[in-house]
Amino acid sequence: MDQKIPKVKIVIKSPSSSLELEAKRGIGFQGVCAKHETAIEFNCRAGDCGICCIKILSGEANLSKPTAIEADFLKAMRADPDERLACQTRVFGDVCVEADYL
Ligand code: FES
């Protein structure tokens, strides 16, 4: 069975780069970054360290809702409403994010 999974457009910006790519709807940023060299860094991959924090520039409604672990971490860090942990986030529509912005 060859079901076509819709594609989404993901733009990942940083102070020194901008990458635009297509990926399967529902992919996590970890999966995206495993296939492409991006400015997003990962360490714990479990919502504990915060190194993967990204700023959502557009398409916030196209992302998965924060997991309980992510919501707790972002609250503890007093993160801005447009900040997410890439390791906990899946993409269901077009988005533009910024990494390495701190
Ligand atoms: S990689 Fe540690 S919180 Fe995402």
Pocket residue to mutate for ligand 1, from 32, 41, 43, most atoms within 8 A of Cβ: 43
Instruction: Work out the average pLDDT over 15-25.
Output: 95
Q: Which pLDDT band, with edges at 50, 70 and 90, does 102 fall under?
A: low
Residue 45 Cα to ligand 1 midpoint, Å, equals 4
Structure tokens at 28: 């996590």
Note the pTM of the prediction, 2 decimals: 0.93
Does the domain formed by 7-98 have CATH 3.10.20.30? yes
Dist. CA 91–CA 1, nearest whole Å: 24
Instruction: Work out the average pLDDT over 58-67.
Output: 97
What count of other Cβ atoms lies within 10 Å of the Cβ of residue 13? 20
Residues 6+ apart with CB under 8 A from 6: 24, 25
CA 1 to chain centre: 30
